[in-house]
Amino acid sequence: MTIQVVALDWKWLFIYPQQGIASVNFMQIPKQTPIDFDITSDSVMNSFWIPQLGSQIYAMPGMSTQLHLLASTDGSFYGSSANISGDGFAGMNFIAKASSSSDFNQWVNSVKHSPDSLNQAAYNKLAKPSQNNPVAYYASGPSSLYYTIIDKYLAPVGGTSNMGSNGTSNMSGMSGMEMQ
């Protein structure tokens, strides 16, 4: 299962591309299921960390880093930023809840009934700096949002996007020098 993670000032956005939902400062995962996190930042460099489940990894603008975790038991696990990132850093935390597959599916179905959609206008509002953000849920959003966030930090290559629709990066020419 894939979860796309975006560090914002000062909150975490979790995008579930396979389920078509998103959440802020809360994520739920099915236990005993390998989770592939794709992690970026739409602000300063940050650090994604769920100490009880595994190591931390940096979230950087214009990059996608990967982390693979698995929760072996039910529970609610504290997650945070492990990198001081400004005024709201102390409140930049979240809960990662591991549950049975059926409880996870019930949660997904409840989020799909949220009245909020993560369209571009909603994302622009969410991306503004704010502190001690409550949990929020989004029933839908553009499937390319994660890659759009990464792309905005990359220099154009031949006038086109650097990130393919499948998430692969086209980084050739980024330095302005010809590759030999």
**What is the domain partition of the chain in residue ranges?**
2-138
Look at residues 151, 10, 27 and name the one whose alpha carbon lies nearest to residue 88: 10
| Cα 130 from Cα 29, distance rounded (Å) | 26
Cβ contact 167:151 at 8 Å = no
pLDDT on residue 88 = 59
Cβ contact 76:104 at 8 Å = no
pTM, whole model, 2 decimals? Answer: 0.84
pLDDT on residue 112 = 96
pLDDT on residue 74 = 96
Q: Which amino acid is at 28?
A: Q
Structure tokens at 60: 């950087």
- Which CATH code for domain 2-138? 2.60.40.420
Structure tokens at 11: 């909150």
pLDDT on residue 91 = 67
pLDDT on residue 92 = 82
Q: How far is CA 31 from CA 74, 94, 124, 150, in A?
A: 6, 18, 32, 29
| Cα 56 from Cα 80, distance rounded (Å) | 9
How large is the greatest C-alpha to C-alpha distance in the chain, in angstroms? 53
| Cα 106 from Cα 128, distance rounded (Å) | 31
Ranges under pLDDT 70 in the chain: 83-91, 158-180
| Cα 43 from Cα 18, distance rounded (Å) | 25
pLDDT on residue 170 = 44
